[in-house]
Amino acid sequence: MSIYIDDEHLIFHLKSKKTSYVMQVTKGGYLSHLYWGKGIKTYRGSNQIIYIDRVFSPNPDSSDRTFSLDTLPQEYPAYGNGDFRVPSYQIQQENGSTVTDLRYKGHRSYRGKPKLKGLPSTYVETDNEAETLELIMEDKLLGLIVTLTYSLYEERDVITRSVQFENQGTQKMKLLRALSASVDFLDDEYELMTLYGAAQNEKNIERRKIVSGIQMVDSCRGASSPQQAPFMALVKKETNEDHGEVYAFNLVYSGNFTAQVQVDPYRTTRVSIGINPFDFSWLLEPGEAFQTPEVVMVYTTSGLGDMSRIYHELYSQRLCRGTYRDTLRPILINNWEATYFDFTADQIEKIATEAKEVGIELFVLDDGWFGERNDSKSSLGDWVVNTQKLPQGLFDLANRVCNLGMAFGIWFEPEMVSINSDLYRSHPDWCLHVPDRPHTLGRNQLVLDLSRQEVCDYLIQALTDILSSAPITYVKWDMNRHMTDIGSSALEPERQRETAHRYMLGLYKIMEEITAAFPNVLFESCSSGGGRFDAGMLYYMPQTWTSDNTDAISRLKIQYGTSLVYPPITMGAHVSSVPNHQVGRVTPLDTRGYVAMAGNFGYELDLTKLTEQEKESVKQQIALYKEIRPLIQFGRFHRIVSPFDSNEAAWSFVSRDQTEVVLSYFTVLSQPAAPVQTVKCKGLNPEFIYKNIETGELFGGDELMHVGLTFPRKKQDFTSRFWRFKKHE
């Protein structure tokens, strides 16, 4: 048992291997937050809430001026009855009021973890992996039931939270805000970590001291976005990769989100996370329910590295699903940067033939194979083969590739429509749009209205037809513009602000159906690169194209930042040609290889244009990746040197039994007066003796970790070092 309930005092203690989370129903039936942090055996109330008369803070009970919701640490704060901080939810009623009042009604706890209807979430395979507590809150006047669900993965030190609203009353309710979680901290001694970026510059790590007021990251772009990730961590000043407290929050959602932290005048800190209330509302008719997405909360005292490994293990084992969850992922070659839209079947076969020779396992045909698509201006939505480019059809091309002994994969951008397409001509109202206003284009395209069932049905059929028409075992699912003119012609005026969330529910439904119908197809999501690299997408598609920036030096930061939350096995990483197409940089082939090998490895170039020597190097890279692939994809990842703080980057992968190690070190610019470089391993067994596979040298695990390795500098920019160690028996 891991959820301890004191029925007399209504104290709920969620206790995992190393952490504790404690709540209590307090005076008046309000649910207060008491503690989240290092595990304790038994909670006996040593940190009783100190009630203070804060002068201007309102009091629900007029006889007690010290009791105020304005200062009470709470679990799911309401708006309108005394708490002036950020509320968790807000509901407009038929009389126009947005004041509500949630009080404790009951609770239940059980082994296991429930599924969230229509939404992605982490899961269990057996009920003993997690225990769940549901706290049922009620607004009696409205007949509103709000169920706060907490699932505790005891062995993983993870708590997930989500909320369900049920209208059991007789009047309509309009949700204006419905966040997934709120956590109050008694102090403000934290720094805030978030991930920001842009297309081709995803997942930069940002860290700042929190100050009074609200600090927020969010997206109102209709996608989780490359601009900000649905992730936030509070850390202590001294927290680093290996030590220190971390409180992390990651939303399992791919649409508009908010993640905010608020410091109030009494120096308490409130974290709130969930669907972005901006331009959101949801009408709940009597009898209806609304489910929020899940937030995954991690606490550790062992620094950011430990936080990441907790997320990595949970996400690779209990968020990703399907055939490929536990299967080695194929090394692929994608023709995008090799040909862009301009290719023929023969050219593709030539690249595939070369690819087979160097050991690549999967050929991916990118954009341009359908409709009359020769540039970004047409044909999205017309998922029929482009017979000008592929006169013998897709089946023929796929077979030509498969006959070489490789698998065949294909690109789609299902959520979009081009104005120049048969789909748009026959259904001009199937895109997101607002009556009487002109369309706002992005990459020349419009977003389909996935809040409409018939649009989802069309896409499911179109994808099914193509996937059944040829031996296709991989899909790259792209999405290349954000939402504008958000509105649906299928929704009544008072539901227009539901469109963006209904879109996500539609998208999740399509992905659920397609991935279930084609269980042997490996799906990789993409959004101009890592623009929708989030936990929601990973539930359906176990890997994501990390960035359209394939430059190895840019990728040091992009992959390092992405690894803060998402596991390396989920990160598509390819070697591309030089000068690099995004930044023009020329980097050595081995550096490009070692950077890409830190993820789900592949190539994105025209192999027919490489010299024999380069092809030989590529062959060696592929052979090496095949040897280390189990370690990279299923081992533990350790960040060692941050490219955000220095001219270098280093990371390593260690097998679960600690017998195998891969270590990579990169130097950006060659510097004449730099100090001697030393790299210290992490996560090894100090008792083991490790053998350098290349040189045969023997070192103790303790020596590699504490003393470290030195190595001479190369007089060159963008260099890399790579070591492999195995336990010496």
> Would you tell me the crossing angle of helices 453-469 and 499-517 to the nearest 10 degrees?
30
User: Residue 528 interacts with ligand DGJ (CB under 6 A)?
Assistant: yes
Which one, 354 or 367, has the nearer CB to ligand DGJ? 367
Which one, 241 or 548, has the nearer CB to ligand DGJ? 548
Which one, 166 or 366, has the nearer CB to ligand DGJ? 366
**Cβ of residue 528: shortest distance to ligand DGJ, in angstroms?**
5
**Cβ of residue 196: shortest distance to ligand DGJ, in angstroms?**
19
Sign of the C-alpha dihedral, residues 653, 655, 656, 658? negative
Q: How far apart are CA 7 and CA 542, in angstroms?
A: 42
User: Residue 411 interacts with ligand DGJ (CB under 6 A)?
Assistant: yes
User: Residue 548 interacts with ligand DGJ (CB under 6 A)?
Assistant: yes
Among 92, 480, 546, 559, binds ligand DGJ (CB under 6 A): 480
| Structure token pair of residue 271 | 């974290």
Among 101, 218, 449, 478, binds ligand DGJ (CB under 6 A): 478
What is Dmax (Cα atoms) for the chain?
86
Active-site residue, from 70, 184, 478, 606: 478
352-371 in b/e burial notation, b at 16+ Cβ within 10 A?
Answer: bbbbbebebbbbbbbbbbbb
Which one, 14 or 364, has the nearer CB to ligand DGJ? 364
Which one, 151 or 334, has the nearer CB to ligand DGJ? 334
- Select from 334, 369, 395 the least CA-distant residue to 601: 334
Q: Which amino acid is at 191?
A: E
Q: How far is CA 416 from the centre of its chain?
A: 22
Kindly indicate which of the ranges 8-16, 211-219, 521-529, 651-659 contains the residues binding ligand DGJ, using the contact rule CB under 6 A: 521-529
Torsion angle of the four alpha carbons 611, 613, 619, 623, in this order, in degrees rounded to the nearest 10: -160
Which one, 75 or 478, has the nearer CB to ligand DGJ? 478
**Cβ of residue 524: shortest distance to ligand DGJ, in angstroms?**
10
Contact indicator for 383, 412 with CB cutoff of 8 Å: yes
Residues within window 299-338 making contact with ligand DGJ, judged by CB under 6 A:
336
User: Residue 529 interacts with ligand DGJ (CB under 6 A)?
Assistant: yes
Kindly indicate which of the ranges 80-88, 314-322, 514-522, 526-534 contains the residues binding ligand DGJ, using the contact rule CB under 6 A: 526-534
Among 83, 184, 367, 660, binds ligand DGJ (CB under 6 A): 367
Q: How far is CA 148 from the centre of its chain?
A: 23
Kindly indicate which of the ranges 24-32, 265-273, 356-364, 525-533 contains the residues binding ligand DGJ, using the contact rule CB under 6 A: 525-533
How many chain residues interact with ligand DGJ (CB under 6 A)? Answer: 11
Q: How far apart are CA 357 and CA 368, in angstroms?
A: 25
Which one, 16 or 550, has the nearer CB to ligand DGJ? 550
User: Exposed, middle or buried, 680 (CB in 10 Å: 0-12/13-18/19+)?
Assistant: middle
**Cβ of residue 79: shortest distance to ligand DGJ, in angstroms?**
40
* Helix or strand holding residue 174 (H, E): strand 173-185
Q: List C-alpha distances in Å: 670 to 235, 396, 451, 558, 560.
A: 33, 49, 53, 21, 21
**Cβ of residue 725: shortest distance to ligand DGJ, in angstroms?**
35
User: Residue 381 interacts with ligand DGJ (CB under 6 A)?
Assistant: no
Sign of the C-alpha dihedral, residues 216, 222, 224, 226? negative
Using CB atoms, what's the residue nearest to ligand DGJ? Answer: 367
Which one, 149 or 549, has the nearer CB to ligand DGJ? 549
Count CB-CB contacts under 10 A for residue 346. 9
Kindly indicate which of the ranges 208-216, 398-406, 522-530, 621-629 contains the residues binding ligand DGJ, using the contact rule CB under 6 A: 522-530
User: Residue 533 interacts with ligand DGJ (CB under 6 A)?
Assistant: no
Which one, 146 or 360, has the nearer CB to ligand DGJ? 360
**Cβ of residue 308: shortest distance to ligand DGJ, in angstroms?**
25
Q: List C-alpha distances in Å: 580 to 95, 338, 523, 588, 645.
A: 60, 12, 26, 11, 24
Sole residue written with tokens 């509302």 = 281
Examine the residue annotation and report whether 548 is marked as an active-site residue of this protein: yes
User: Residue 551 interacts with ligand DGJ (CB under 6 A)?
Assistant: no
Contact indicator for 628, 662 with CB cutoff of 8 Å: yes
Kindly indicate which of the ranges 133-141, 445-453, 524-532, 613-621 contains the residues binding ligand DGJ, using the contact rule CB under 6 A: 524-532
Q: How far apart are CA 166 and CA 183, in angstroms?
A: 22
User: Residue 131 interacts with ligand DGJ (CB under 6 A)?
Assistant: no
**Cβ of residue 478: shortest distance to ligand DGJ, in angstroms?**
5
Residues within window 233-252 making contact with ligand DGJ, judged by CB under 6 A:
none
User: Residue 526 interacts with ligand DGJ (CB under 6 A)?
Assistant: yes
| Structure token pair of residue 183 | 């956590």
**Cβ of residue 530: shortest distance to ligand DGJ, in angstroms?**
9
**Cβ of residue 545: shortest distance to ligand DGJ, in angstroms?**
6
**Cβ of residue 388: shortest distance to ligand DGJ, in angstroms?**
18
Sole residue written with tokens 């336990």 = 727
Which one, 179 or 410, has the nearer CB to ligand DGJ? 410
Residues within window 173-202 making contact with ligand DGJ, judged by CB under 6 A:
none
| Structure token pair of residue 200 | 């081709």
What does the H/E/C string look like for 426-437? HCHHHECCCCCC
Examine the residue annotation and report whether 367 is marked as an active-site residue of this protein: no
**Cβ of residue 511: shortest distance to ligand DGJ, in angstroms?**
18
Q: How far apart are CA 494 and CA 499, in angstroms?
A: 11
Q: List C-alpha distances in Å: 138 to 76, 182, 285, 554.
A: 12, 17, 17, 51
Which one, 343 or 411, has the nearer CB to ligand DGJ? 411
Active-site residue, from 218, 548, 551, 590: 548
Residues 6+ apart with CB under 8 A from 122: 113, 151, 153, 158, 160, 252, 294, 296, 314, 315, 318, 319
User: Residue 366 interacts with ligand DGJ (CB under 6 A)?
Assistant: yes
User: Residue 415 interacts with ligand DGJ (CB under 6 A)?
Assistant: no
Kindly indicate which of the ranges 19-27, 95-103, 123-131, 523-531 contains the residues binding ligand DGJ, using the contact rule CB under 6 A: 523-531
The residues binding ligand DGJ (CB under 6 A) are 336, 366-367, 411, 478, 480, 526, 528-529, 545, 548
Provide the annotated active-site residues.
Answer: 478, 548
